[in-house]
């Protein structure tokens, strides 16, 4: 397949079911059982952040073990060398909390989607116009779903993925506002789960998030086109 075909397929997996697990593991050895637990619960997009100890080793091991069962990416990337190292380790998508548009070229050259951070309307439009596949709205908990709805009124083509403030209670609200996917961190990978290595609990919680998203996508006015890279509302 071409790099564009690869990137399109990976975009499809990011928005189906539309959940990106943001992994900040306490220990490198947690990543594999943690990732298996997420996949068992139905979450296939796994973002391993650079704050995870030995994150490159964790990405490489996760890709090798999970294979096509999951989409393993890297988060908290701030510069091109960091992106290139993660891509070489096997990362399949790149996420940054900031609008580092210089990350787009190396990610796309590797056939991988890139999600860049933004906060204001100007920042959102700038990173998407530069070629980012998604806009990571961060920190989204300070803004809320109403902000996304207001933002997309004049800018309906923004492909927004909020991170921060997304939980089981608010997931449907973010989707109703027009978000194409949701980044989920501590509300999924709860401190008590990581502390106890309670992977069955993580699987159960992941399944609850998947169910919540599926219910929201079936609401009147929400049409999800499986295999496509857009979410129309």
Q: Known catalytic residues?
A: 47, 136
**42-76 residues labelled b (16+ CB within 10 A) or e (exposed):** bbbbbbbbbebeebbebbbbbbeebeeebbbbbbb
Alpha helix locations (H) across the chain?
3-14, 31-40, 55-66, 80-89, 104-109, 121-129, 145-152, 171-176, 191-196, 199-217
Rounded to whole angstroms, the Cα distance separating 115 from 105 reads 12
Do the bridges between strand 160-162 and strand 71-75 make them parallel or antiparallel, or are there none, so unpaired?
unpaired
Closest CA to 52 of 88, 26, 82, 22: 26
Rounded to whole angstroms, the Cα distance separating 64 from 61 reads 5
Gyration radius from the chain CA atoms: 16
């Amino acid at each position: 397949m071409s790099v564009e075909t690869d990137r399109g397929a990976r975009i499809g997996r990011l928005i189906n079911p539309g959940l990106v697990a943001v992994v900040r593991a306490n220990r490198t050895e947690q990543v594999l059982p943690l990732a298996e637990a997420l996949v068992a619960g139905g979450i296939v997009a796994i973002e391993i952040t650079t704050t995870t100890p030995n994150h490159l080793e964790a990405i490489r091991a996760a890709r090798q073990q999970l294979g096509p069962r999951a989409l393993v990416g890297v988060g908290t990337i701030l510069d091109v060398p960091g992106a290139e190292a993660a891509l070489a380790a096997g990362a399949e998508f790149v996420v940054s909390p900031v609008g580092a548009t210089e990350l787009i070229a190396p990610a796309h050259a590797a056939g991988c989607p890139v999600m860049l951070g933004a906060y204001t309307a100007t920042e959102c439009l700038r990173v998407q116009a530069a070629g980012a596949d998604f806009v990571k709205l961060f920190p989204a908990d300070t803004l809320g779903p109403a902000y996304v709805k207001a933002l997309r009124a004049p800018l309906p083509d923004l492909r927004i993925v909020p991170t921060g403030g997304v939980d089981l209670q608010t997931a449907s609200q973010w989707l109703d506002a027009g978000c194409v996917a949701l980044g989920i961190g501590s509300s999924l990978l709860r401190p008590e789960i990581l502390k106890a290595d309670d992977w069955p609990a993580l699987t159960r919680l992941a399944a609850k998030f998947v169910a919540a998203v599926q219910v929201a996508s079936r609401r009147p006015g929400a049409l999800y086109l499986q295999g496509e890279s857009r979410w129309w509302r």
